[in-house]
Amino acid sequence: MNLALLLSRAARAHGGKPALVQGDRILYYEEFNRRTGRLAGSLRDLGIRSGDRVAILQHNAPPFLETLFALFRLGAVAVPLNFRLHSREIRYILEQSRSTAVIHGDFFNPRIPQARQGTSVSHWISTGKPASDDSLGYEDLLAQGPELLDDVELDEDALAWLFYTSGTTGKPKGAMLSHRNLLAMIMSFFADHYVPDETDVALHAAPLSHGSGLYALPLVARGVTNILHDSVGFSPAGVFEEITRWKVTLIPFLAPTQVKRLAEEPVGPGHDLSTLRAIAWGGAPMYVEDARRAVTRFGPILTELYGLGESPMTITALSRRAMAAELEKAPPLLTAGPPRTDVEVRVVDEAGQPLPTGSSGEVLVRGGVVMKGYWNNPRATSETLRGGWLHTGDIGYLDERGFLFLVDRKNDMILSGASNIYPREVEEALMEHPEVAEVAVFGVPDPEWGESVKAAVRPRHPQAPPPVPELLAFCRERIASFKKPRSVVFVEEIPKNAYGKTLRRELRERYGTPD
């Protein structure tokens, strides 16, 4: 089954119903499907074929989902990119994925000269003003393109989405998600989160390039109206206004930081939040008190998910009713919930042997939602998919009910505002500074972001260390701004074990405050 069928079938059943809404712009399902077909036809005329990779670099807007479904219809592979990434990081992904085209917003135009150097990209297509004479206009393609009416016939194991996530080397890795994987994710959404129908109105307040875009698939399949909140800047007041204006029933995905901000935002006299039936959150742990505050604000409508890009949005889930009950028990850690209906979860020791109830170990996952592997990275694939199980790198334990509790991350990944930050990426950037002799980066608790990045730096000249603002600016020039340290501590030495491995846990114990 080609996932493009979800849209064409919804268009037949709900053609006159609003599908995509942003501001005063309303795109109905029939028009959404027609524009998708014309874009697919235009891309085919450009030479893009089944299996080709096409990057999507856009803020939340109708063209994002049009592009996604057009690529499905063609049998091409979508490569959605985080628009906050640095040009160097974007260029790496374009090179690694061998993307043949990029469909981008014109906000990215100034960075294209740097990003396109040495890539295989043949076509740069702008949804706004073209970047240069050899760029193409998105609306121009739609105006002149022949409509592709039929979906390309595909094996269900054909690739649909390359989900780039940080890996053990610090370089992004492309999790290969097939049409079958995403269909499994869709059915799991219906089974364990929320069963939407054409009466629902969903608000996408998180970027479509990640969780909100993945969960747009089941919503389109059921003819839901999708309100697209501007992903450039999350505005709690703006979210309340959109909920009130459109009578929103569902927010399909938020990061814990966004839930916290919504719970703390004053509700204005003109705001009506009574239509909300469910808010799903995930991507990072949430403090128990923050979850309680959100339930107090919105009622028992919060539902939690735990998943990875390698097992998209689907490992465990905590239903609305279960979360409300768990919060009343005041657990030391908020559980991630039981395994999803069609997923197996196992906790193992270092030898890969299952551990008894209550014992912490690495979380392993098996099921139809698990990725095929990493794009063009057989070594990382073999390390992560061993013995038929996805090794998540997360540390957790199962209680007597089979509920999963997450307690640590084996791979030292920092989760800040639902964004994955790998310490080595930041360390490599800092090590380019001539006054830095050695550095170790680690996560520290942050009341707003869950975690923030802190760097322990051993300067080359201990009596005259480089100014901290200079180091932060140096990082900003080399990696995405959200990855740079929020604080720096200067140390005489970086603690290591007998094998020379940096002891990040010891650094967190010594310097475990943001400032």
In CATH terms, is domain 29-154 a member of 3.40.50.980? yes
Element (H, E) at 190: helix 179-192
Residues above pLDDT 70, as percent of the chain: 96
Region 493-510: what's the mean pLDDT? 75
Q: Given a cut of 50, is residue 28 above it in pLDDT?
A: yes
Distance of alpha carbon 242 from alpha carbon 334, whole angstroms: 29
Top pLDDT among 401 and 419 is at 401
Q: How confident is the model at residue 17 (pLDDT cuts 50, 70, 90)?
A: very high
Q: SS3 for 327-350, per residue?
A: HHCCCCCCCCECECCCEEEEEECC
Please state the CATH superfamily assignment of the domain spanning residues 415-511 in this structure: ANL, C-terminal domain (3.30.300.30)
* Intrachain domains 334-409 and 415-511 with the same fold: no
At 284 the pLDDT is 75
Checking if the pLDDT of 244 tops 90, the result is: yes
Q: Where are the domains of the chain?
A: 29-154, 334-409, 415-511
Amino acid 423: pLDDT: 79
Residue 375 has pLDDT above 50, yes or no: yes
Does the pLDDT at position 86 exceed 90? Answer: no
- pTM value? 0.85
334-409: which CATH topology?
Luciferase; domain 3 (2.30.38)
Query: Which comes out higher in pLDDT, residue 345 or 418?
Result: 345
* pLDDT of 499 higher than 50: no
* Residue showing tokens 């089941």: 218
Q: What is the pLDDT of residue 134?
A: 83
Ranking 27-31, 229-233, 453-457 by mean pLDDT, the lowest is 229-233
Span of 107-116, 313-322, 416-425 with lowest mean pLDDT = 416-425
**pLDDT, average across residues 146-164:** 95
Packed helices 320-328 and 288-298: angle between N→C axes, nearest 10 degrees: 120
Query: pLDDT at position 161, please?
Result: 98
Type of residue found at 195:
V
Residue 168 confidence class, pLDDT cut points 50, 70, 90: very low
Identify the weakest region by mean pLDDT among 113-122, 210-219, 476-485: 113-122
Q: What percent of the chain has pLDDT over 90?
A: 70
* pLDDT at position 280: 96
Give, to the nearest 10 degrees, the angle between helix 236-246 and helix 256-264.
Answer: 80
Question: Higher model confidence: residue 327 or residue 182?
Answer: 182
pLDDT band at 500; cut points 50, 70, 90: low
pLDDT digits (tens, 9 = 90+) for 39-68: 999 999 999 999 999 999 999 999 999 999
- Output b/e per residue, 29-47; b: 16+ Cβ within 10 A: bbbbbbbbbbbbbbbbebe
